[in-house]
């Protein structure tokens, strides 16, 4: 197998394309965005990921990676398109369906088709396979169809694509083997073969486990606020038990995985998944909890100026998908009392619908700094960084600013017992 066609050049598809290209495959990456295709063919990228600009430039210059708006014939097809959710919280698999239909005219007997997109259980058997069958292919013998969910951490994608264990679920045992052999050419970790539905559920449960754990931490924050307890200290001490690992609380859960994947399970087995649904509700409530406390802090100010630091769902990336920070900003901007200036050193203006500001513009004359992402740029702020504020108060919802200062009051989301209204 020499040629791979990757459909979807986003946060997963593009790094995957680059890694396979580095391994010697001829890669054609497909995306509906002509802008993305043009940038990639010039050796440039449209997303932020450590090491990716240099790798893409290298493999494009070597002729191993190029982009197109249409698929081409290949030995292997990898589908890596988004799977968002509808307003009713059901999975939107339209992109997967469209991508599958798009490759049909280019398929030949013996091809391997792999879906990396995160999908609800039984999507491979009930949706993807029938599309290929309707096109005249026998998915038992003609086409080797498998699901291999991505399992990478933004900021470490190029490392984890190589080192992480991969789960490959085939619609047949032979399909699992053929697809697994593709990954074995680049992966140094284990490549485990299983059934498609098992692979689908394994990815969903990985992220559901984390979402439920974060919900526990976020519920602890609310309890601690009521009881006057430092939740961060409670978690630190509880985690000294050898079999306890409580996650960290925050302003909510975002990203294309944790904030979405649990709903794929709930959709298929609603009555059997009350804990999963409740955890989603708890995490979804955190933006409101943050805004409520901002309102408490600023209740005595006539026109409080708030500097919001960070829009991404996690630190040191540019990904704002499902970010709770966006919901918080929208709620704050909906309050006519507030004057909101937003600064995020990783986010570009075209990614959001409101104006972004520089650090200086945001902090000057501000009554409150609200930290919503744990970027490295925020962790190194000093007392002098807040000197231009009108009242030097910081509400850190990510527990990332460890500043001891008599001039700057730092409030933590998990330790609100010291919350006092801001005075002019």
Q: Where are the beta strands (DSSP E) in 31-189?
A: 65-68, 76-79, 112-115, 144-147, 166-170
Residue 256 backbone class (left: φ over 0; alpha: ψ -120 to 50; beta: rest): alpha
Q: How far apart are CA 40 and CA 60, in angstroms?
A: 8
203 is annotated as an active-site residue: yes
Alpha-carbon radius of gyration of the chain: 23
Active-site entry in 5, 148, 257, 400: 257
Residues 6+ apart with CB under 8 A from 254: 312, 313, 314, 320, 321, 322, 323, 324, 325
Active-site entry in 203, 268, 305, 412: 203
User: Of 393, 260, 250, nearest to 325 (Cα)?
Assistant: 250
For strands 368-371 and 305-309, give the pairing: parallel
398 is annotated as an active-site residue: no
Backbone angles phi, psi at 191, to 5 degrees: -120, 110
Q: How far apart are CA 324 and CA 331, in angstroms?
A: 11
User: Of 16, 47, 83, nearest to 322 (Cα)?
Assistant: 83
3-state helix, strand, coil in the chain (%, to 5): 40, 15, 45
Q: How far apart are CA 77 and CA 27, in angstroms?
A: 10
Instruction: List the catalytic residues.
Output: 203, 257
């Amino acid at each position: 197998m020499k040629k791979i066609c990757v459909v979807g050049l986003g946060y997963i598809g593009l790094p995957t394309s680059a890694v396979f290209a580095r391994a010697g495959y001829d890669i054609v990456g497909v995306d509906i965005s002509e802008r993305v295709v043009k940038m990639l063919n010039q050796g440039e990228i449209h997303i932020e990921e450590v090491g990716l600009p240099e790798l893409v430039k290298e493999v494009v210059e070597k002729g191993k990676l190029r982009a197109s708006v249409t698929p081409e014939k290949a030995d292997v097809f990898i589908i890596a398109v988004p799977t968002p959710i509808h307003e009713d919280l059901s999975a939107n698999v339209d992109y997967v369906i469209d991508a599958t239909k798009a490759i049909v005219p280019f398929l030949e007997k013996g091809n391997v088709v792999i879906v990396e997109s995160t999908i609800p259980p039984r999507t491979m058997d009930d949706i993807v396979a029938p599309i290929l069958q309707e096109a005249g292919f026998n998915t038992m013998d003609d086409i080797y169809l498998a699901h291999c969910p991505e399992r990478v951490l933004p900021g470490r994608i190029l490392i984890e694509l190589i080192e992480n264990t991969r789960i490959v679920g085939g619609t047949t045992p032979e399909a699992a083997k053929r697809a697994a052999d593709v990954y074995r050419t680049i992966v140094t970790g284990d490549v485990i073969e299983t059934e498609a539905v098992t692979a689908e559920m394994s990815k969903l449960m990985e992220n559901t486990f984390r979402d439920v754990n974060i919900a526990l931490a976020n519920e602890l924050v609310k309890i601690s606020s009521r009881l006057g307890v430092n939740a961060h200290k409670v978690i630190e001490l509880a985690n000294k038990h050898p079999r306890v690992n409580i996650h960290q609380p925050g302003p909510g859960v975002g990203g294309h995985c944790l904030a979405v994947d649990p709903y794929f399970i709930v959709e298929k087995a609603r009555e059997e998944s009350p804990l999963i649904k409740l955890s989603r509700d708890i995490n979804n409530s955190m933006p409101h909890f943050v805004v409520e406390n901002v309102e408490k802090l600023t209740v005595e100010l006539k026109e409080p100026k708030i500097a919001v630091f960070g829009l991404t769902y996690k630190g040191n990336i540019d990904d704002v998908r499902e970010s709770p920070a966006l919901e918080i900003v929208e709620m704050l901007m909906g309050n006519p009392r507030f004057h909101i200036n937003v600064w995020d050193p990783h986010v570009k203006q075209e990614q959001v619908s409101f104006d972004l500001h520089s650090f200086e513009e945001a902090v000057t004359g501000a009554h409150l700094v609200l930290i919503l992402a744990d970027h490295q740029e925020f962790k190194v702020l000093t007392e002098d960084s807040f000197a231009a504020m009108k009242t030097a108060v910081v509400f850190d919802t990510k527990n990332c600013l460890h500043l001891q200062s008599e001039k700057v009051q730092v409030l933590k989301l998990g330790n609100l017992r010291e919350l006092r209204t801001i005075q002019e």
